[in-house]
Structure 1
Amino acid sequence: MTYDLPAHQRALAFDRAAGAYAAHRPQYPAAVFETVEEFSGQRLAGARVADVGTGTGIAARDLHERGARVVGVEPGAGMAAQFRRELPGVPLVRGDGNRLPLADGSLDLVSYAQSWHWTDPSRAVPSALRVLRPGGALALWWSDPDPAVPWVAEQGARIEEWLGPGCYISNVQTPAGLLWKTRTLRWSRRVTVDFHLAKLATHSAFIVLGEPRASAFLTAERKRLAQHFPGGELDEPYVTSVAVAVRPA
């Protein structure tokens, strides 16, 4: 099964779908950034921030618009190229979350938005703490489809039947050894059925599956969703988890 590829290979598969990722993946709600400020004890405006595994810059854009002095860190060539198209005024360095190419103690905040599950925490935590100043913060956040919504749970079961267990949720664990503050946020966005399916196609499990098999699933899914949503639109519900730990002074 293609989903059994190592995590780093699946992460780099996003390069094949960078444009679609930028177009269809959701922004994060404002409450995410308000939570990061609350839990870290610092304002984002003026903060020196590295957004790691930044991809096409979805979180980096929000951080930048809130006044952070943000730099993106991205391993994939395709995603990095899309980032530069999306955010030409925001610095970007090539690198991964396990070995940050940044100076010791140079940052107020290190964020991993939808990217922590691609790291090796035994390497990523020391790397993040190294580049943070004393009192700086490590922030993780990730969004998953809300399983409390019946049609989402049914769709998730079909995806796991097709691709294997654990292929559609982030499965993030906050690493031991740090004092974490956590919060769960529920929200949704209104999209068309076709837009929702295009978003599904940007998940790594579908990318590595290959176009013919992915298209077969998505075509069948379009027919099912048309029965649920005859008007052609739906509320796409999410659960976003936020975890923040402050580096001891």
Structure 2
Amino acid sequence: MADREEMSLSFGAAAGAYEAGRPEYPAEAVAWMLEPARSGSDAPRVADVGAGTGKLTRVIVGLGAQVVAVEPDPGMLAVLHEAVPGVPTFVGSAEQLPLPDAGLDAVLLGQAWHWVDPEAGTAEAGRVLRSGGVLGLIWNFRDDDEPWIARMTAIMHDSTAEAMIADGGPVVAGPFGPLETRSWRWRRAMTRSALEDMVRSRSYVITAGPDERARIESGLAALFDEVGAVGDALVDVPYVTHAYRAVRA
């Protein structure tokens, strides 16, 4: 099995699958994270850190914020440039942000904080945020309360993020106040092709050896046949979005 660092930097090899298979974020969840940041401006200055292909970036833009995107993988940023043209981008990480001190109203991370060293990431977020700025963390998860989704998760292996949430959630240190959280449940209609792209965009699958990948693909093919994800047919995939926010002192 690949180590944590290799998995965290694996996504560029599947950037197209990530863009096609991963869901966007509910606008109401992103708006909730940004609420404290709007106290000083109707167009808060926001960094989307670990921005990937821009799934979170485009929602932030749609909410009227000024956005910069920070991502360690140039392959992911290339897709973001096409998906969200005009957004300034920087190669960097949550632990080493290429941004000035106290220049932002919000730092948001989508599907990313579980790859971050929480002590270093919190310190950097605190450095680039103004007093009263907000650190927002968000994840989309398939809802394993539905039996066939739980079977799919078992076949393709839990993610690092799913394990972190099950263990009590993200850790954020000073200079931030208490971590607030809210959840949203929703559904997404997906074709078999989109389901396959979602699977291929997961770090465990990207870094798996040929035998393990063949096992995953075989098991999922049988499951998708069983639930009617055949050809262009749509199946409803339930999701739960967990969002967190903490305000800088």
1:46 alignment partner, one of 40, 43, 48: 43
Task: Give the TM-score of the pair, scaled to structure 1.
Answer: 0.89
Contact 1:201–1:214 (8 Å) recurs in 2: no
Aligned counterparts of 2:229 and 2:127: Cα–Cα separation in 1: 53
Match of 1:234 in 2: 235
Letter in 1 for 2:86: G
Contact 1:60–1:70 (8 Å) recurs in 2: yes
Contact 1:98–1:124 (8 Å) recurs in 2: yes
Match of 1:13 in 2: 10
**Residue range with higher mean Cα deviation, 71-80 or 205-214:** 205-214
Match of 1:196 in 2: 195
Match of 2:179 in 1: 180
CA spacing shift, 1:40–1:226, aligned 2, 3 Å: same
Contact 2:114–2:170 (8 Å) recurs in 1: no
CA spacing shift, 1:38–1:48, aligned 2, 3 Å: closer
Letter in 2 for 1:246: V
Match of 1:71 in 2: 68
Match of 1:247 in 2: 248
Matched, 1:92 2:89: yes
SS at match of 1:209: coil
Matched, 1:55 2:52: yes
**Residue range with higher mean Cα deviation, 128-137 or 39-48:** 39-48
**Residue range with higher mean Cα deviation, 231-240 or 34-43:** 34-43
Matched, 1:25 2:18: no
Contact 1:44–1:68 (8 Å) recurs in 2: no
Aligned counterparts of 2:172 and 2:76: Cα–Cα separation in 1: 30
Matched, 1:169 2:162: yes
Contact 1:52–1:112 (8 Å) recurs in 2: yes
**Residue range with higher mean Cα deviation, 174-183 or 7-16:** 174-183
SS at match of 2:68: strand
Contact 1:144–1:170 (8 Å) recurs in 2: no
Post-superposition Cα deviations, 1:16-56, rounded to whole Å, max 9, x if no partner, equal: 01111112211111221232234556488411000000011
Contact 2:192–2:229 (8 Å) recurs in 1: no
User: Per-residue deviation at 1:152?
Assistant: 0.9
Match of 2:223 in 1: 224
CA spacing shift, 1:39–1:210, aligned 2, 3 Å: farther
User: Per-residue deviation at 1:138?
Assistant: 0.4
Q: Kindly report the root-mean-square deviation, in angstroms, between the aligned alpha carbons of the 2 structures.
A: 2.1
Aligned counterparts of 1:246 and 1:144: Cα–Cα separation in 2: 24
**Residue range with higher mean Cα deviation, 51-60 or 232-241:** 232-241
Task: Give the length in aligned residue pairs.
Answer: 241
CA spacing shift, 1:247–1:25, aligned 2, 3 Å: same
CA spacing shift, 1:41–1:70, aligned 2, 3 Å: closer
Identity fraction in percent: 35
User: Per-residue deviation at 1:229?
Assistant: 2.2
Aligned counterparts of 1:55 and 1:230: Cα–Cα separation in 2: 27
Match of 2:149 in 1: 152
Aligned counterparts of 2:139 and 2:15: Cα–Cα separation in 1: 18
User: Per-residue deviation at 1:189?
Assistant: 0.4
Contact 1:51–1:110 (8 Å) recurs in 2: yes
SS at match of 2:207: helix
Letter in 2 for 1:155: M
Aligned counterparts of 1:31 and 1:176: Cα–Cα separation in 2: 23
**Residue range with higher mean Cα deviation, 98-107 or 32-41:** 32-41
Aligned counterparts of 2:87 and 2:142: Cα–Cα separation in 1: 29
Contact 2:122–2:172 (8 Å) recurs in 1: no
Contact 2:172–2:179 (8 Å) recurs in 1: no
Aligned counterparts of 1:25 and 1:67: Cα–Cα separation in 2: 23
SS at match of 1:89: coil
Aligned counterparts of 1:53 and 1:16: Cα–Cα separation in 2: 15
